[in-house]
Amino acid sequence: MSKPKNNYLFLLIALAFAYLTFGAITNVAGAIVPKIKETYHVSGSASSFLASVFFIAYGLTSVPFGVLINKSGSKFTLIFGSLITTIGVLMFASVPGYYANMVAMFVCGVGITAIQVAANPLVKGVSNPEKYSRNLTLFMVLFGAGSYLAPHIVTFVKLRGLEWNYSYWIFTVISIVMLFGLAFPKYPPEKTFGEKEHKSEKSFAVLLKDPLMMMYTLAIFLYVGVEVGVANNIGLFLEDMHKVTNVLGEGAEAIKNSTVANYWLGLLIGRLLGSFVLDKIPTKKAIRIYISCAALLLACAIFSNNLTIVLWAFPMVGFFISIMFPSIYGLAIESYKKEYSGMVSGMLCTAIIGGAVIGPLIAKVAEITGSIQKPNWYLGMLIAFACYAYIFTVGIWAKEKHAV
């Protein structure tokens, strides 16, 4: 019988705070996209791209940070990532300008990637075996709570008469707390993985040639892209299509930020309930049902002239896309033998770079088919529906037996 790992309680608390922190920093983008457009006088697609630069870091640095963990350990990687994140949010707070903010956003992305790549497996290492699932679920809830709180922090700053970028001073303080919190607890002994490097290279070569793996990777790319892309464009959509500033005056910004926050809250609630749903319904069937509902509700959000319906529909979209990432990820892992699981996970994490692509693409298509002043969001959002359509097909062709 394994010995309980209660001596890692402080590390678990520090990790829990880290999930809350990087959830907030990752998903504050939806609230600041309209402010970027207004402050720097750029197009909607340009402001959306700045926010999405964060996710380029995932595509470029997930695998390198995995290597760093093998060489230097989880503690070094977590502290290094926390330091980079703190530098990034401090840069965003203190150095204004479109391109300066873009660099700061990328630095934040690099830091958060390091933290997430190191934290996810570490949760298992410091949890009692019978409590691992509970802890990981709790930490994902905290990530969602951070995502929900972040837009409200922007509103809080604005209501006190400060510029929106002052919210990043708050994130700087939170990041410093995270840095010190992760630096001092006791960590489990690190293991070396050097002997596995050759096998990993072989696994990577096999998976690159496998069409099924490429299809799963594309599914994650499109899912993360459309999840983030819809959230980041909500504020622009409400302003362009419903003229919320003209209608609501000073209350418009709070409404836009609340809608973004509620989108993430819907996703959080959906994930909490999703485990019960997936216990009752096969994963592939659940994907088909949930993504169909998400598409229907996005249509309500896009095509309804009733602002109340729109403000409720966007959070419900978040609710119904909530099971997609764990479902696709789980199907991919189950499709391959155990020795491939690490490399499968690495390839799927790299595909998170989709978050940098779909949002700006939605805004760009809207501008091309309309204009910068009057984007055609009906056609722009067709990109989102196309992503949903592909994800629906995952619920048809996904394999539940070992492919290789």
Give pLDDT tens digits for 105-151: 999 999 999 998 888 778 777 777 666 556 766 788 888 899 999 99
pLDDT, mean of residues 56-82: 87
198 pLDDT higher than 60: no
N- to C-terminal Cα separation, the chain:
34
- In the chain, the domains with their CATH numbers are 1-192 (1.20.1250.20), 196-404 (1.20.1250.20)
CA distance 294 to 389: 11
Residue pointed to by tokens 């749903």: 277
CA distance 362 to 167: 26
pLDDT digits over 165-191, tens only? 899 999 999 999 999 999 999 888 866
CA distance 50 to 99: 8
pLDDT digits over 226-276, tens only? 999 999 999 999 999 999 988 888 788 889 999 999 999 999 999 888 878
**Measured at the alpha carbon of residue 68, what is the angle toward residues 64 and 74, in degrees to the nearest 5?**
130
* 57 touches 106 (CB < 8 A): yes
194 pLDDT higher than 80: no
pLDDT attached to residue 131: 65
The DSSP call for residue 184 is S
pLDDT, mean of residues 370-387: 95
pLDDT attached to residue 385: 98
